[in-house]
């Protein structure tokens, strides 16, 4: 079968490997572009959120490239994302496009459905059970290594001397990972990538601001959906801490605090969890960032995202009481890069002034 999947950050490298090694042909989804969004907007409901529209566009593009099956995730609500695949399948059927969407619902809620879909994908590839498990393990290792590299890149970027070098080095590391085929190889590629990033020429005298990124998972994880905001921030001399990574979302401990802890932080402001998507997390993580001495927080959310609107309504109160500035971006198809850049610059200026004032108040203004 020719299999494709939605693109979410750099994770496609791991998924590509997985699909190919199960024994299928992989159609790598192209990076969401203007064309993707145009297609998506044309065939999506007006008030669907931007991830829905991007996925619509992606599915139409991969169908064009010959994909027969798309693997994606389902969901149990109350976020709309769990209903995407039903709507997408109906849209594709109506357009007469022969593309089948296989959506994995959370296995804990319906194990037989999950198992049947998994079997469908696995058996048609012709692997034995043992091999299949091995392939899954390798892909998981790959996914973790990708996130490790990306995380380090955020730490290194504000210190880079040659603008854009971090991104180039990150790609080099990702290419190593792309070629790795077993767990030892991945480990080697990972440490090689980390070494490359660490050994880049850096100006350690800089004193970058620290900004946390919160919000809805898709627009946080997919750089093209948020106009490469994390890279933009890094190049403006800001150290970015992202509240989520795909491997953390899938249960990797060191990448993600347990939800209970985050919900407990959010409780004084939002006494209900979960409210779908990452609504409660956004509140809890803002509190955590404030407590950990961050200079500011940026919330990324798709326009009309239900849980994030709840979060946005409450965040001004969190911001006031925890004394941390928060900038919210509601992203839709009309959002332009220049607009994002202007707002980022203003926000960074504000944070710098604020930090300066605070240090002066504390009587330890650095001599510079």
Partner 1 sequence: MAKIGIPRTLAYFLYFPFCKEFFDSLGHEVVLSTPTSKAILDRGVKETVTDACIPIKLYHGHVADLIGKVDYIFAPRLVSFRKFGDFDTETLCPKFLGLPDMLRASIDDLSPIIDTRLHLRPGKKQLYLAGQEIGSILGDNPVQVKRAVTRARRVQKKFEKLLYEGMTPTEAMDVLYGDQPGPVNRVDDEAEFRIAVVGYPYIIYDPYVNVGLLKLLQREDARVYTQDMLSARKMAQAGRELPKQMFWYFSNRAVHGAVYFMKQDYIDGVIHVTAFACGPDAMVDRMMEFQAKKYGMPFMSIMVDEHTGEGGVKTRIEAFLDMLRYRRERDEN
> Which residues share a beta bridge with 301?
330
Q: What is the DSSP letter of 77?
A: S
Question: Interface with partner 1 includes 270 (CB under 8 A)?
Answer: yes
Where would I find the H helices in 23-79? 34-43, 50-64
Contact 228, 314 (CB under 8 A): no
Phi, psi of 302 (to 5 degrees): -70, 150
Residue numbers 159-218 binding partner 1 by CB under 8 A: none
The binding track of 51-70 with respect to partner 1, each residue x by CB under 8 A or -, is -x------------------
187 or 317: CB nearest partner 1: 317
Shortest reach from residue 89's CB to partner 1, in Å: 8
For residue 118, the tally of other CB atoms under 10 A from its CB is 15
48 or 138: CB nearest partner 1: 48
Residue numbers 317-346 binding partner 1 by CB under 8 A: 317, 330
> Which residues share a beta bridge with 151?
none
Shortest reach from residue 283's CB to partner 1, in Å: 9
The binding track of 73-92 with respect to partner 1, each residue x by CB under 8 A or -, is ---xxxxx-xx--xx-xx--
Question: Interface with partner 1 includes 279 (CB under 8 A)?
Answer: yes
40 or 307: CB nearest partner 1: 307
Question: Interface with partner 1 includes 110 (CB under 8 A)?
Answer: yes
**Strand, helix or coil for residue 244:** coil
Question: Interface with partner 1 includes 97 (CB under 8 A)?
Answer: no
For residue 63, the tally of other CB atoms under 10 A from its CB is 18
Contact 291, 283 (CB under 8 A): no
Shortest reach from residue 157's CB to partner 1, in Å: 30
The binding track of 120-139 with respect to partner 1, each residue x by CB under 8 A or -, is --------------------
Shortest reach from residue 47's CB to partner 1, in Å: 4
Shortest reach from residue 180's CB to partner 1, in Å: 37
Contact 189, 146 (CB under 8 A): no
CA distance 326 to 211: 9
Question: Can you give the length of the chain in residues?
Answer: 368
CA distance 136 to 118: 12
Phi, psi of 271 (to 5 degrees): -90, 50
Residue numbers 289-308 binding partner 1 by CB under 8 A: 303-307
Q: Which residues bind partner 1 (CB under 8 A)?
A: 45-49, 52, 76-80, 82-83, 86-87, 89-90, 94, 105-106, 109-110, 269-272, 275-277, 279, 303-307, 309-314, 316-317, 330
């Amino acid at each position: 079968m020719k299999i494709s999947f939605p693109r979410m950050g750099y994770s496609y490298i791991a998924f590509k490997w997985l699909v190919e090694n199960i024994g299928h042909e992989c159609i790598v989804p192209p990076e969401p572009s203007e064309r993707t969004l145009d297609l998506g907007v044309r065939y999506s409901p007006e008030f669907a959120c931007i991830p829905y529209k991007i996925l619509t566009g992606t599915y139409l593009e991969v169908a064009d490239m010959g994909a027969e099956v798309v693997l994606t995730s389902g969901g149990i609500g109350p976020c709309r994302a769990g209903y995407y695949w039903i709507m997408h399948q109906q849209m594709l059927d109506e357009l007469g496009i022969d593309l089948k969407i296989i959506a994995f619902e959370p296995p804990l809620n319906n194990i037989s459905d999950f198992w049947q879909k998994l079997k469908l994908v696995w058996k048609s590839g012709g692997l034995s059970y043992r091999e299949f498990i091995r392939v899954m393990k390798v892909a998981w290792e790959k996914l973790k290594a990708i996130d490790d590299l990306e995380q380090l890149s955020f730490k290194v970027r504000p210190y880079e001397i040659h603008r854009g070098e971090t991104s180039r080095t990150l790609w080099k590391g990702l290419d190593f990972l792309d070629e790795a085929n077993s767990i030892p190889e991945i480990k080697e590629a990972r440490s090689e990538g980390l070494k490359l990033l660490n050994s880049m020429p850096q100006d350690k005298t800089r004193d970058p601001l620290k900004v946390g990124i919160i919000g809805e998972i898709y627009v946080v994880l997919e750089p093209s959906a948020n106009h490469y905001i994390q890279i933009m921030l890094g190049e403006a001399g800001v150290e970015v801490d992202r509240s989520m990574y795909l491997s953390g979302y899938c249960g990797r401990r060191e990448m993600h605090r347990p939800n209970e802890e985050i919900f407990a932080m959010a409780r004084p402001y939002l006494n209900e969890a979960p409210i779908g998507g990452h609504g409660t997390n956004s509140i809890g993580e803002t509190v955590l960032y404030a407590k950990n001495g961050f200079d500011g927080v940026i919330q990324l959310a798709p326009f009309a995202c239900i849980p994030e609107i709840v979060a946005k309504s409450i965040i001004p109160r969190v911001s006031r009481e925890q004394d941390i500035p928060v900038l919210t971006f509601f992203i839709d198809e009309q959002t332009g890069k220049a607009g994002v850049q202007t707002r980022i610059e203003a926000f960074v200026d504000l944070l710098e002034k604020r930090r300066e004032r605070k240090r002066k108040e504390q009587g330890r203004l650095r001599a510079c």
